[in-house]
Amino acid sequence: MVILNRVQMNYFKVVLFSVIGMYHCYAQTHAIGKFSYDKLVKRNAEVIQQQKIDSLVTFEKVVLDGFDSKIPFYHYENRSRQEQGYVLLLHGLGDSKEDWINPSEPYLDWSRNIKAMKDSLISLGYSLIIPDVKYHGERSYELGFRSPATLPPVISRNEKDTQLFETMVTSTVKDLRIIMDYISDKNGSNHISFAAIGYSLGGNLAILLSMFDTRLTRVVGCVAPINLPARGLEAFSFSNKTIEGQMAITPMKHAGLQQAPILLLMGTKDFYTTDEEISRFLSLVPSEHKNVKYFDSGHILPDEYRVDAISWITTFE
């Protein structure tokens, strides 16, 4: 048996911590690359529908050249303020931008509630960006009209769909950054602030966007599965590249990058995220302004959550 003296032990510790630090640095750099895009590429935008809601608010449907495909999104431009505040509203897995506009079954009350959130934000003077996530809504053709809800590894249980799930998340975050570029360019030198409210998958997208783009100044994640898809990956015999890709799109793995004020609105009976995961995530977040509020619900939050979401956006403006 080899016995190390104190000097050797200290040297071993230094080397070990250096290797760990280098690994974390590599992992962080690798993840940042996945959410990066070429800002110098000229991207065309076309307003294909426009309607005046009132003397101050204009609704537009815009189609913009995204990272790897066209991005259709709704744009509510609100001129009731001198300084424009934008809120991105991000839907969940299997849903679409229409949920914020036209309430529908099977969750009619829930969709009425998120429409009410959209209407309240407009009445408070905010401009809105409401896009389709990649493979969703008007972008379903990109997945051959399959349901994107079949892609997560715990559902698909195959590597190809798991890789498509990674592409869906990374491309959407890049698309959101490109939309923010478009809005900023459109408004010229005028000061603009950006915030995001996301539900479920949309919550993860909002958090990831705020981690990799400092223009997002506050974020609300509603029942965001912050440790997915990383949790449970050990059950699959995927390649290292695929595993690394799933880790890169898991908010928990980048908690140390969360600088913007963040609010998590969670259900006590929601099985997608555990109390321990939420506590760990918030303990790793360096932002001074961070909070979680629980509701006695599952993945469908009660109506009152929208009040908390809007309050967070207005408080940290």
Which pair of tokens denotes residue 76? 């509510």
Collect all residues with Cβ–Cβ distance below 8 Å to 32 and sequence separation of at least 6.
Answer: 212
Collect all residues with Cβ–Cβ distance below 8 Å to 227 and sequence separation of at least 6.
Answer: 250, 251, 252, 273, 274, 277, 281
Taking residue 294's Cβ as centre, other Cβ atoms within 10 Å add up to: 15
**Which parts of the chain are beta strand (E)?**
45-52, 57-65, 70-78, 84-90, 127-131, 192-199, 216-222, 262-267, 290-295
**pLDDT the model gives residue 10:** 58
- Please give the Cα distance from 62 to 273 (Å, whole number): 34
* Mean pLDDT of the region 272-301: 97
**pLDDT the model gives residue 81:** 84
Query: What percent of the chain stands above pLDDT 70?
Result: 90
- Is residue 260's pLDDT more than 50? yes
- Please give the Cα distance from 164 to 94 (Å, whole number): 14
- Is residue 18's pLDDT more than 80? no
Over the stretch 40-99, which tens digit does the pLDDT of each residue have? 999 999 999 999 999 999 999 999 999 999 999 999 999 998 788 999 999 999 999 999
**pLDDT the model gives residue 241:** 97
- Please give the Cα distance from 143 to 58 (Å, whole number): 32
- Is residue 24's pLDDT more than 60? no
**pLDDT the model gives residue 299:** 96
Arithmetic mean of pLDDT over the chain = 91
Q: Is 260 helix (H, G, I), strand (E, B) or coil?
A: coil
**pLDDT the model gives residue 188:** 84
Q: Is 258 helix (H, G, I), strand (E, B) or coil?
A: coil
**pLDDT the model gives residue 174:** 98
Decide the pairing of beta strands 70-78 and 127-131: antiparallel
More confident residue, 285 or 7: 285
Over the stretch 97-121, which tens digit does the pLDDT of each residue have? 999 998 877 778 888 999 999 999 9
- Please give the Cα distance from 291 to 97 (Å, whole number): 27
- Please give the Cα distance from 26 to 20 (Å, whole number): 10
Please give the single-letter amino acid code of residue 22: M
**pLDDT the model gives residue 8:** 53
| Segment among 19-23, 64-68, 120-124 with least mean pLDDT | 19-23
Decide the pairing of beta strands 262-267 and 216-222: parallel
Confidence of residue 309 (pLDDT cuts 50, 70, 90): very high
Query: Is the model's pTM score more than 0.75?
Result: yes
The answer to whether 14 and 22 are in contact (CB under 8 A) is no
Cis peptide before 229 (omega within 30 of 0): yes
